[in-house]
């Protein structure tokens, strides 16, 4: 094939990759793209500013993105973050972009199945689950009823699902507490904030602690006696 044909093929391939990444919501760094494609930064800038001028992009310090990319788009970074916070990343050797593209290919059946028993009672859409999640993210204390008993100024750390049951792990009056989510009602997020204790956070993430969640109330009762 003549050199001009090779050049057009490289250009078409480069533009297709740029368009795909922009619509995935990625922030494109000109310098990094130039190194990846083996072209000059000026060439990449020309691609984005002239050849793809019909796209509504914005440039901030040599990085390009779609102006509405902060909307419904999700990137590989978002997927990896979700995998980390839901503790499913450890099921895979490495969730790199190449493996993600295979696993998320809608044109084929999933090559993997990770089977976990679903919760015996799914959280209701407008119940306390959403409020508790927001309180954990914002480090805000909550009030609620648990098995009909008032719980006040509780510092929520994590919601953990184990063997079909959701548990709220928290600090209440500076003591570690575990509450069964299905028994929680009337959740109210307060304006009072708290700082998570690193040592307590590590305890809540310890597999031995998580496996003991169904027995926490029984063990605590024995200790108090």
Whole-number average pLDDT of the chain: 83
The rounded percent of the chain whose pLDDT value lies above 70 is 89
Q: Which residues contact 20 (CB under 8 A, 6 or more apart)?
A: none
Q: Which of the pair, 43 or 115, is modelled with greater confidence?
A: 43
Domain spans in the chain, listed from the N-terminal domain onward: 3-66, 74-115, 128-224
Residue 118: CB atoms within 10 A of its CB come to 9
Residue 56 has pLDDT above 90, yes or no: no
For 77-93, write each residue's pLDDT tens digit.
777 778 877 878 888 88
Q: 3-66: which CATH architecture?
A: Orthogonal Bundle (1.10)
Least confident of 25-34, 92-101, 151-160: 92-101
Among 139, 131, 112, residue whose Cα is nearest residue 189 = 131
The highest-level CATH class for domain 128-224 is: mainly beta
Q: What separation, in Å, do the N-terminal and C-terminal C-alpha atoms of the chain show?
A: 85
135 has a pLDDT exceeding 90: yes
At residue 79, the 3 state secondary structure works out as: helix
| Strands 63-66 and 140-146, sheet pairing | unpaired
How far, CA to CA in Å, does 102 sit from each of 19, 96, 133, 177, 224?
20, 10, 31, 41, 52
What is the rounded distance in angstroms from the CA atom of residue 179 to the CA atom of residue 10?
Answer: 58
Please report the pLDDT score of residue 225 as a whole number: 56
Higher confidence at residue 203 or residue 109? 203
The region of weakest confidence among 29-43, 55-69, 155-169 is 55-69
Which pLDDT value is given to residue 65?
84
- Lowest average pLDDT, out of 69-83, 109-123, 192-206, goes to 69-83
Q: How confident is the model at residue 188 (pLDDT cuts 50, 70, 90)?
A: very high
Task: Please tell me whether the overall predicted TM-score, pTM, comes out greater than 0.75 for this model.
Answer: no
Coil, strand or helix at 136: helix
* 160 has pLDDT over 80: yes
Q: Is a pLDDT exceeding 90 seen at residue 25? A: no
What would the pLDDT profile of 167-185 be if each residue is shown by its tens digit?
999 999 889 999 999 899 9
Q: Is the pLDDT of residue 39 over 60?
A: yes
Q: Judge whether residue 72 has pLDDT over 60.
A: no
Contacts of 22 (CB under 8 A, 6+ apart): 28, 52, 55, 57, 64, 65, 66, 69
pLDDT band for 140, please (50, 70, 90 cuts).
Answer: very high
Which pLDDT score, from 0 to 100, does residue 1 have? 46
Question: Which residues have C-beta within 8 Å of that of residue 89, sequence separation ≥ 6?
Answer: 80, 83, 95
């Amino acid at each position: 094939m003549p050199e001009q044909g090779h050049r057009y093929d490289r250009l078409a391939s480069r533009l297709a990759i740029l368009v795909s990444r922009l619509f995935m919501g990625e922030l494109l760094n000109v310098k990094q793209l130039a190194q990846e494609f083996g072209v000059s930064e000026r060439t990449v800038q020309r691609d984005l500013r002239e050849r793809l001028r019909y796209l509504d992009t914005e440039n901030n310090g040599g990085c390009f993105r779609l102006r509405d990319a902060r909307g419904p788009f999700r990137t590989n970074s978002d997927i990896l973050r979700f995998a980390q916070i839901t503790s499913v990343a450890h099921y895979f050797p490495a969730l790199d972009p190449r493996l993600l593209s295979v696993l998320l290919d809608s044109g084929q059946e999933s090559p993997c199945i990770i089977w976990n028993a679903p919760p015996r009672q799914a959280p209701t859409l407008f119940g306390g689950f959403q409020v508790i999640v927001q309180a954990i993210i914002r480090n805000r204390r909550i009030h609620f009823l648990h098995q009909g008993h008032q719980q006040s100024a509780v510092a929520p750390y994590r919601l953990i699902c184990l063997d079909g049951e959701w548990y709220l792990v928290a600090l209440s009056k500076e003591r570690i507490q575990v509450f069964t989510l299905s028994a929680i009602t009337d959740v109210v997020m307060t304006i009072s904030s708290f700082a998570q204790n690193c040592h307590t956070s590590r305890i809540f993430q310890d597999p031995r602690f998580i496996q003991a969640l169904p027995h926490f109330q029984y063990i605590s009762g024995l200790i108090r006696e």
